[in-house]
Chains A and B, each alone.
Chain A
Amino acid sequence: MAALEVRGVSKRFGGLRALSEIDLRLGDAEILGLIGPNGAGKTTLFSVISGFLRPDAGSVHLDGRELLGLRPHLICRLGLARTFQIVQPFPHLSVVDNVMIGAFNRSSDSRRARRQALEVLARTGLAHVADRAAQVLPIGLRKRLELARALATEPRILLLDEVMAGLNPAEVEETVAIIRAIRESGIAILVIEHVMAAVMELSDRIAVLHHGELIAEGPPAEVARDPKVVGAYLGEPFLAA
């Protein structure tokens, strides 16, 4: 059984079809890359899955359990966490306090939540800024903080919305390594990403959205050669490493 199963999800905003009948499956501990031009509906799909947006039709199942209609905090408790493309830190709280909010998803004890938050900071390379206020972090680390907070909720499935946008190549490499390690721990990951080299390298499979429709799905190398994908998004054949 797929860890996450999206079936026939459609969403309109007025006259705009943001998503039309999207089907997606995410296997256990799989990394699925979601790519496509701006406005293709990627973030809308994330918002539907994580309960921030109600679709007009379709269903979303986590381990066979229907998620549609549940509030975001319940979906998080069931084991699905997301990051936001536009980072949403708790600006005046320290980095470790930010991550503790995530850790409280599984624990009611402040000391235990703090310990767990510190562990997550170590795993995500943020330990050195634990006591800084989130608002003073540079954008690269703020993106990392989004990831750390979501990870601290101890999800089964993680939705990452452009956690590598705006990072320098060294930071991208670090983030790729962190995401790999997260998968190694058994978490399935759905990534939206525009940094092509990273998403091709990282993903087991790639799904391509265009104008709210799924136009291709498959292993990275295949998708990169697909003429539809090249025409809609990549522009020229992308040479997957």
Chain B
Amino acid sequence: MRRLPLLLLAAALVIPLLVRSEYLIGTLTLIYFFAFVGQGWNILGGYAGQFSFGHALFFGIGAYTSSLLFVKAGLTPWVGMWCGAALAVLVGLVTGHLSFRFGLRGAYFALIMLAFAEIFRVAATNLDWVGGSFGILVPLRGHAPALFQFGDKRYFYYIILVMLVAACYGVRRLENSKLGYQMAAIRENESAAEGLGVNAYQVKLTAMALSAGLTALGGSFYAQYFSYVDPAIGFGPANSIEILLRPIIGGAGTVWGPLLGSFLLGGLGEGTRGLVKSYAGVHLMIYGVILMGAVVFLPHGVMGWLRQRGRRG
């Protein structure tokens, strides 16, 4: 079992060399991508237990910042993505301060995050210098690695794979650190944690900053991969749901949850699409029903279910 991550990684590394299918590479790229932004959400929502319903806020900031800097100032998205992450951290600290200073928890915190994301969506829709409702088209320059543009989609595959592995490794380290323990304590019982010397406000803000930065990096990647972002894709509630769905399904607060959830949903989405090709939209309905089932019957995600089985067996 200990070698499983390395085996998976080895497989992930060689797949593009063995398989020519653009469809498969594209599907896997998106699976890794959603696992990556899911991992970003997971730090705050899964580990620290602060359920954000508006993580598109950070995703959009990442996507818009790197794209705008490229379009308006010619700055390469390789640098722009870090500017986006820094800005997302800043916005995260402000929204976090406003939420945590006034003790917003549970549903109230989830909703205030949704509200913040909506403010950005409406602003982006109405401000012409960020593209208005049309959004931003990243101008293509052919195969230009220095500008985060590639003629071959496999480059994107490897980039998001590296980002995902780094994120999972980082979260694994976090899990075993003082900060990780304190985040878990706050998730489990915030007053008890404070009574034991945990500065809940500071720990939650730190979780917010890490979570925001990581999610924003994912947003920049997305904008480069599709060469496009608009207010709904960037800041919309549908995107917030996409971001939190994988870690929830896979198991929030676990390193493997986002990845597992992403593979399940990715496979499910593609599978149902293949099954009912002739009826447009039917695959989304089936997808939805399976999702509801997963939430009802696997309250702690697939990881929770696996662990429970492991304990019994």
> What is the interface of chain A, defined by CB distance below 8 A to chain B?
50, 52, 71-74, 76-77, 81-82, 84, 88-93, 97, 100-102, 104-105, 107-110, 113, 149-150, 152-153
Shortest distance from the beta carbon of B87 to any chain A beta carbon, whole Å: 29
Q: Is the CB of A72 within 8 A of B181?
A: no
Cβ of B22 under 8 Å from chain A: no
In the bound complex, how far is the Cα of B182 from the Cα of A97, in angstroms?
A: 10
Cβ of B178 under 8 Å from chain A: yes
Shortest distance from the beta carbon of B51 to any chain A beta carbon, whole Å: 16
Shortest distance from the beta carbon of B255 to any chain A beta carbon, whole Å: 16
In the bound complex, how far is the Cα of B188 from the Cα of A102, in angstroms?
A: 14
Q: Which residues of A are found within 8 Å of B178, using beta-carbon distances?
A: 104, 107-110, 113
Known interface pairs A92-B188, A93-B188; A100-B195 also in contact (CB < 8 Å)? no
Q: Is the CB of B195 within 8 A of A72?
A: yes
Q: Is the CB of B194 within 8 A of A102?
A: no
Q: Is the CB of B188 within 8 A of A76?
A: no
Q: Which residues of B are found within 8 Å of A152, using beta-carbon distances?
A: 196
Known interface pairs A90-B185, A90-B189, A92-B188; A101-B177 also in contact (CB < 8 Å)? no
Shortest distance from the beta carbon of A110 to any chain B beta carbon, whole Å: 6
Known interface pairs A101-B185, A108-B178; A73-B192 also in contact (CB < 8 Å)? no
Shortest distance from the beta carbon of A230 to any chain B beta carbon, whole Å: 35
In the bound complex, how far is the Cα of B192 from the Cα of A74, in angstroms?
A: 13
Shortest distance from the beta carbon of A150 to any chain B beta carbon, whole Å: 7
Q: Which residues of B are found within 8 Å of A52, using beta-carbon distances?
A: 191, 194-195
Q: Is the CB of B177 within 8 A of A110?
A: yes
Q: Is the CB of B176 within 8 A of A153?
A: no
List B residues 231-270 near A (Cβ within 8 Å).
none
Residue among B177, B182, B192 making CB contact with A84, cutoff 8 Å:
B192
In the bound complex, how far is the Cα of B196 from the Cα of A97, in angstroms?
A: 13
Q: Which residues of B are found within 8 Å of A93, using beta-carbon distances?
A: 184-185, 188
Q: Which residues of B are found within 8 Å of A150, using beta-carbon distances?
A: 195-196
In the bound complex, how far is the Cα of B249 from the Cα of A188, in angstroms?
A: 48
Which of B177, B197, B198, B199 neighbours the largest number of chain A CB atoms within 10 Å of its CB?
Answer: B197
Q: Is the CB of A90 within 8 A of B188?
A: yes
For A152, give the chain B residue with the smallest CB separation: B196
Shortest distance from the beta carbon of B2 to any chain A beta carbon, whole Å: 19
Q: Which residues of B are found within 8 Å of A113, using beta-carbon distances?
A: 178, 181
Residue among A77, A88, A92, A110 making CB contact with B197, cutoff 8 Å:
A77
> What is the interface of chain B, defined by CB distance below 8 A to chain A?
176-178, 181-182, 184-185, 188-189, 191-200
Shortest distance from the beta carbon of B73 to any chain A beta carbon, whole Å: 41
In the bound complex, how far is the Cα of B192 from the Cα of A101, in angstroms?
A: 10
Residue among B177, B181, B200 making CB contact with A73, cutoff 8 Å:
B200
In the bound complex, how far is the Cα of B120 from the Cα of A84, in angstroms?
A: 43
Q: Which residues of B are found within 8 Å of A101, using beta-carbon distances?
A: 181-182, 185, 193, 196, 198
Residue among B192, B194, B197 making CB contact with A90, cutoff 8 Å:
B192
Shortest distance from the beta carbon of A44 to any chain B beta carbon, whole Å: 15
Residue among A89, A92, A100 making CB contact with B192, cutoff 8 Å:
A89
Q: Which residues of A are found within 8 Å of B193, using beta-carbon distances?
A: 90, 101
Q: Is the CB of B191 within 8 A of A104?
A: no
Shortest distance from the beta carbon of B16 to any chain A beta carbon, whole Å: 37
Shortest distance from the beta carbon of A97 to any chain B beta carbon, whole Å: 7
For A78, give the chain B residue with the smallest CB separation: B197
In the bound complex, how far is the Cα of B200 from the Cα of A34, in angstroms?
A: 30
Q: Which 4 A-B residue pairs are closest in the complex by CB-CB distance?
A: A105-B197, A90-B188, A76-B197, A88-B192
Q: Is the CB of B188 within 8 A of A50?
A: no
Q: Which residues of A are found within 8 Å of B176, using beta-carbon distances?
A: 110
Q: What are 15 contact pairs spanning A and B, CB under 8 A?
A: A52-B191, A71-B199, A73-B198, A73-B200, A76-B195, A88-B191, A89-B188, A89-B192, A90-B192, A91-B189, A92-B188, A105-B197, A113-B181, A150-B195, A153-B197
For B184, give the chain A residue with the smallest CB separation: A93
In the bound complex, how far is the Cα of B198 from the Cα of A108, in angstroms?
A: 12
Shortest distance from the beta carbon of B249 to any chain A beta carbon, whole Å: 19
Which of A76, A77, A152 neighbours the largest number of chain B CB atoms within 10 Å of its CB?
Answer: A76
Known interface pairs A97-B181, A113-B178; A102-B196 also in contact (CB < 8 Å)? yes
Q: Is the CB of A104 within 8 A of B189?
A: no
In the bound complex, how far is the Cα of B188 from the Cα of A66, in angstroms?
A: 30
Residue among B181, B185, B195 making CB contact with A50, cutoff 8 Å:
B195
In the bound complex, how far is the Cα of B176 from the Cα of A149, in angstroms?
A: 18
Q: Which residues of A are found within 8 Å of B199, using beta-carbon distances?
A: 71, 73-74
Q: Is the CB of A82 within 8 A of B195?
A: yes
In the bound complex, how far is the Cα of B189 from the Cα of A110, in angstroms?
A: 20
Q: Is the CB of B195 within 8 A of A110?
A: no
Q: Which residues of A are found within 8 Å of B194, using beta-carbon distances?
A: 52, 71-73, 76
Q: Which residues of A are found within 8 Å of B197, using beta-carbon distances?
A: 73, 76-77, 81, 102, 104-105, 153
Q: Which residues of B are found within 8 Å of A97, using beta-carbon distances?
A: 181, 184
Q: Is the CB of B181 within 8 A of A153?
A: no
Q: Is the CB of B196 within 8 A of A76?
A: yes
Contacts beyond the supplied A81-B196, A91-B189, A149-B196: 13 A-B pairs with Cβ under 8 Å? A73-B196, A82-B195, A88-B189, A88-B191, A89-B188, A91-B188, A92-B188, A105-B197, A110-B178, A149-B192, A152-B196, A153-B196, A153-B197
